[in-house]
Chains A and B, each alone.
Chain A
Amino acid sequence: MPKINNLDEAAAAVLDAQQQKHRLELRGLGTKSGIGNQPVYDACLDVSAMQGIVDYQPEELVLTVRAGTTLSAVEAALDKANQMLAFEPADLSALLKSKSTGTIGGVLATNLSGPRRLTAGAARDFLLGFDAVSGRGERFKSGGRVMKNVTGYDLSKLICGSYGTLAVIDEVTIKTLPRPETSLSLLFESDDMASAVALIAGIFASPHEPGAAAILPQPVAAAAGIDLAADFVVVIRLEGIALSVDDRAGHLRGMGGTGGTVETVPQALSETLWRRIRDVDLLADHAGDIWKLSCPPASAPQIIAAIEPHFDMAFYADWAGGLLWLAGPSGADFGNALRAALTLHGGGHAQLMCDRGNSKQLIPALQPLPPAQASLSRRVKAAFDPLGVLNFGRMHDGI
């Protein structure tokens, strides 16, 4: 596999591929190669050598790093300065049976965000700028190294979540944030999904600044080591300075409503719990496929009600209900039912994240686009990669 060390070599490799009429698959550590559709390619291009932290200025909240740097190396550097990637990227290695957490470039290419996405934003909200080589084989840059910038089109947004279909990226500049001094979680009992979502809505209508909110059905809660008898457990995370976290926890404990138990989970246990929610290892033992649904938070109960009676499935919700992780039977039926339920209940996106039964041959991993958006997306792809050299078909047919 040809290995590139910099963007000049990337440009040469892309031009070479053009000449040989080859399509390329971009590969970092390959930990997320199962996400998205199977691209059409003749050769792989190994981008994992483009490693290293270029510039890190904690007091500017800005980190410039090469895209092949491992996520763990990035997080270790931030940790030393008591900072973090606020979008809390997941470590899906247990779920995807991969060897490591992969590279920061892979995190950005899949726009992979964790529980704090609800209140702090997604990966795409933190990419400030990048250097790249397009599928045309030309170098270009976009954005900058400052937080506030509206100079030219915001191509950072487009590059995030583009699965390497537009360009090979090298240096990326990311906004960092201070790590909260302390955190804890509160567990609320709930009888059903609807009252769980309503409880969360009430908590978010209070000034007590919840930072993350998940809903765990009893079997999933039990798997996470939560010893509550209720059918559903609402998990609320609070972060900040200790004084504030304790104060807010006190206020929120009174919001349990129906008189059910409210438990407090101290920091260390809370961190473990949220790591498991983030990394989807609460469903990792399920034999079926894993789907990720992004939906209006208040629609989650209807979507589950529409699906659950028809399938042998397990699920839980993050992002106050707006992110559903579901394990269900392989094949096309489960995904089709999820997409149909989404369409009926406010729209969104259903993505097959972990295919354990060749389901991708039967159903597209990413939700098909409406016609006008599909043709615009193809033109966008062509604007960067007119010959379809890069990760062709990874996202959609021809994209």
Chain B
Amino acid sequence: MLMPDPDQDVIDRRDAICAALKKIVPAACVIDSQESMRAYDADGRSAYRQLPLAVVLPETVEQIAAVMKWCKAEGVKVVPRGAGTSLSGGALPLADAVLLGLGKFSRILEVDYDNRCVVAQPGVTNLAITHAVQGDGFYYAPDPSSQIACSVGGNVAENSGGVHCLKYGLTTNNLLGIEMVTMDGEILRLGGKHLDAGDYDLMGVMTGSEGLLGVVSEVTLRILQKPATQRALLVGFEDTGSAGTAVGDVIAAGIIPAGMEMMDGLAINAAEDFANAGYPRGAAALIIVELDGPEAEVDALIGRVETIMRSAGASSIKISQSEEERNLFWAGRKSAFPAVGRISPDYLCMDGTIPRRRLPDMMVLMATLSQKYGLRVANVFHAGDGNLHPLILFDANQPGELARAEDFGADILRGCVEMGGVLTGEHGVGVEKRDLMSIQFTEDDMKQQQRLKCAFDANHLLNPGKVFPHLHRCAELGRLHVHKGKMPFPDLPRF
């Protein structure tokens, strides 16, 4: 993966930069020794590693603003980092950039039941929000599988989802307000405890912007009352096509389950070996459908889903009769990644989305590609919303296998776009999918996105080298077609 050429001038000024940063934040908040910085040299996409210029861990929003302002004035790049769990390299350091860690922003500032929200600093973990309110029957809905570790600020940067976003939405749908710091060092408060404002939805574009537009310094999150009951069905199928159809049938019947997950044969067996969850070995596909809500409703809908599954040709159906059993159904799914890790030295986790009805076509494509590249693939899907997580199995110690696995992954993502889907459903573009962006977007599409970037960060100092394959200078992006040698409105002020 090629990153932009580091600025040697900045690297040469490293000592002076560290000294200046130590005047902006307490000296102990600047980490500049090689050994200590090693802890920050990668995020969840650990195939890519790079030591940063320096690590800064500010303690207040004013310090974040001062660091940003100073870096802008000095032409020093900044890479923001939450908990570092990104799977796409969004927080991968750059040799000539300061890594701005939000780890010290770890406090929940306010639990407000009257307005049904929590105000928290960005370094608080996703699960800690639910922990803070669950005693009173509330929870925070987005539940990415890394929720024990990932930070809510990172969730905003990546617009994180989870297994329940079919019914409850992604981060963007559960976020009421943010405080953010721009590359100019300006502190903005967007949204709040109210629902809608009549302004440009800058919070909406900040969400999922992968740390390219600003640094999130506070979040206000909507909390919901925990559903009275949750029950799940565990359904086996002898072919993946019927399983795919069954998923569509549930939605077509007007039922929006809290979660609807699918696994293929390889994933089923790996998960069963690992978790003993009672999964149907030998089935070609398995679906977990979870329904939540008032007890009477859940019981009725469980019956309807069971009927739909039987008509779609299910080979086995189990319905959870207790919380223990429901958790067991999930135990296999939730351990799918480590379980696959046991049957292969390494694996690549992909993340594309397709229109749900194309699932059977995608399974055929993956089987073909698996043969072509000589690598196995295990599949776990958020089937309800068409979000695929193919796990490509390989051995990094075999020369060329990583590259082959990456090519395999790129072909899957190409297939996603060709089938009407997108490159990434929830992991983000980051570094991983940066060079594939042109499959989904034209040059003009990407230029328009980068113009938005220029409005926030005119010198491309914030997290450069991520998301976009080509960096265009903002002056070049802002240029208009010139008609007959004259700019229209030559006297208009340009912002």
Among B14-22, B50-58, B75-83, B247-255, the stretch that binds chain A is B247-255
Q: Say yes or no: A384-B451 contact (C-beta < 8 A), given A154-B205, A244-B297, A322-B194.
A: yes
- Per-residue interface assignment for chain A, residues 326 to 342, with 1 indicating a CB less than 8 Å from any chain B CB and 0 otherwise: 00000000000000000
CB neighbors of A among B159-182 (8 A)? 159, 161, 165-166, 169-170, 172-173, 182
Bound Cα distance from A15 to B452, whole angstroms:
20
- B495, A146: Cβ atoms closer than 8 Å: no
Bound Cα distance from A147 to B249, whole angstroms:
17
Residues of A within 8 A of B13 (CB): none
Among B93-101, B120-128, B416-424, the stretch that binds chain A is B416-424
Distance in Å: Cβ of B79 to nearest Cβ of chain A: 18
Say which residue of B355, B425, B452, B481 sits within 8 Å of A383 (CB atoms). B452
- Chain B residue, CB-CB nearest to A351: B198
Distance in Å: Cβ of A318 to nearest Cβ of chain B: 10
Answer yes or no: A395 CB below 8 A from chain B CBs: yes
Distance in Å: Cβ of A263 to nearest Cβ of chain B: 21
- A15, B481: Cβ atoms closer than 8 Å: yes
Answer yes or no: A160 CB below 8 A from chain B CBs: yes
Bound Cα distance from A138 to B479, whole angstroms:
12
Answer yes or no: B396 CB below 8 A from chain A CBs: no
Answer yes or no: A58 CB below 8 A from chain B CBs: yes
- B421, A60: Cβ atoms closer than 8 Å: no
- Per-residue interface assignment for chain A, residues 345 to 358, with 1 indicating a CB less than 8 Å from any chain B CB and 0 otherwise: 01111010000000
- A161, B200: Cβ atoms closer than 8 Å: yes
Answer yes or no: A207 CB below 8 A from chain B CBs: yes
- B187, A372: Cβ atoms closer than 8 Å: yes
Distance in Å: Cβ of B113 to nearest Cβ of chain A: 7
Bound Cα distance from A150 to B221, whole angstroms:
19
- Chain A residue, CB-CB nearest to B204: A157
Q: Say yes or no: A125-B195 contact (C-beta < 8 A), given A59-B251, A82-B254.
A: no
Distance in Å: Cβ of A38 to nearest Cβ of chain B: 15
- Per-residue interface assignment for chain A, residues 114 to 129, with 1 indicating a CB less than 8 Å from any chain B CB and 0 otherwise: 0001100110110000
- Chain A residue, CB-CB nearest to B88: A150
Residue tally, chain A, CB below 8 Å to B: 98
Among B262-270, B367-375, B382-390, the stretch that binds chain A is B382-390
Distance in Å: Cβ of A119 to nearest Cβ of chain B: 9
Residues of A within 8 A of B226 (CB): 207
CB neighbors of B among A58-77 (8 A)? 58-62
Among B4-12, B277-285, B340-348, B436-444, the stretch that binds chain A is B436-444
Bound Cα distance from A154 to B202, whole angstroms:
10
Residues of A within 8 A of B492 (CB): 387-388
- B198, A367: Cβ atoms closer than 8 Å: yes
- A376, B208: Cβ atoms closer than 8 Å: no
- B425, A208: Cβ atoms closer than 8 Å: no
Among A177-185, A221-229, A271-279, A306-314, the stretch that binds chain B is A177-185
Say which residue of A146, A395, A399 sits within 8 Å of B386 (CB atoms). A146
Q: Say yes or no: A376-B456 contact (C-beta < 8 A), given A146-B354, A152-B441, A298-B115.
A: yes
Q: Say yes or no: A136-B455 contact (C-beta < 8 A), given A61-B251, A153-B209, A161-B201.
A: no
Bound Cα distance from A29 to B203, whole angstroms:
30
Distance in Å: Cβ of B316 to nearest Cβ of chain A: 24
Answer yes or no: A258 CB below 8 A from chain B CBs: no
Answer yes or no: A366 CB below 8 A from chain B CBs: yes
Distance in Å: Cβ of A262 to nearest Cβ of chain B: 18
Bound Cα distance from A137 to B453, whole angstroms:
19
- B385, A147: Cβ atoms closer than 8 Å: yes
CB neighbors of B among A375-399 (8 A)? 375-384, 386-388, 395, 399
Which of B166, B251, B294 counts the most chain A CB atoms within 10 A? B294
Bound Cα distance from A139 to B79, whole angstroms:
31
Bound Cα distance from A206 to B437, whole angstroms:
45
- Chain B residue, CB-CB nearest to A35: B198
- B192, A348: Cβ atoms closer than 8 Å: yes
CB neighbors of A among B187-240 (8 A)? 187-190, 192-205, 207-209, 213, 225-228
- Chain A residue, CB-CB nearest to B443: A140
Residues of B within 8 A of A178 (CB): 251, 254-256
Bound Cα distance from A376 to B190, whole angstroms:
12
Say which residue of B172, B357, B420, B449 sits within 8 Å of A157 (CB atoms). B172
Residues of B within 8 A of A207 (CB): 137, 225-228, 294
- Chain A residue, CB-CB nearest to B138: A205
CB neighbors of A among B99-118 (8 A)? 112-116
Distance in Å: Cβ of A353 to nearest Cβ of chain B: 10
Say which residue of B136, B207, B387, B429 sits within 8 Å of A148 (CB atoms). B387
- B197, A348: Cβ atoms closer than 8 Å: yes
- Per-residue interface assignment for chain B, residues 140 to 173, with 1 indicating a CB less than 8 Å from any chain A CB and 0 otherwise: 0000000000000000001101000110011011
Bound Cα distance from A69 to B255, whole angstroms:
28
- A372, B186: Cβ atoms closer than 8 Å: yes
- A382, B188: Cβ atoms closer than 8 Å: no
Residues of B within 8 A of A118 (CB): 195
Bound Cα distance from A124 to B193, whole angstroms:
17
Say which residue of A146, A160, A241, A379 sits within 8 Å of B455 (CB atoms). A379
Answer yes or no: A144 CB below 8 A from chain B CBs: yes
Distance in Å: Cβ of A85 to nearest Cβ of chain B: 15
- A60, B356: Cβ atoms closer than 8 Å: yes
- A18, B483: Cβ atoms closer than 8 Å: yes
Answer yes or no: A111 CB below 8 A from chain B CBs: yes
Bound Cα distance from A244 to B228, whole angstroms:
12
Residues of B within 8 A of A241 (CB): 297, 300-301
16 contacts between A and B (CB under 8 A): A60-B356, A62-B355, A138-B444, A145-B355, A150-B158, A150-B427, A162-B200, A178-B251, A178-B255, A241-B297, A243-B296, A376-B456, A380-B202, A381-B495, A382-B478, A395-B199
What 10 new A-B contacts, CB under 8 Å, besides A19-B488, A147-B385, A297-B193?
A59-B252, A151-B423, A152-B445, A155-B448, A158-B204, A160-B204, A201-B116, A207-B227, A244-B293, A294-B194
- Residues in A lying within 8 Å of B, measured CB to CB: 15, 18-19, 21, 57-62, 82, 111, 113, 117-118, 121-122, 124-125, 134, 136-142, 144-158, 160-162, 177-179, 181, 197, 201, 204-209, 240-241, 243-244, 247-248, 294-299, 319, 322-323, 346-349, 351, 366-367, 369-370, 372-373, 375-384, 386-388, 395, 399
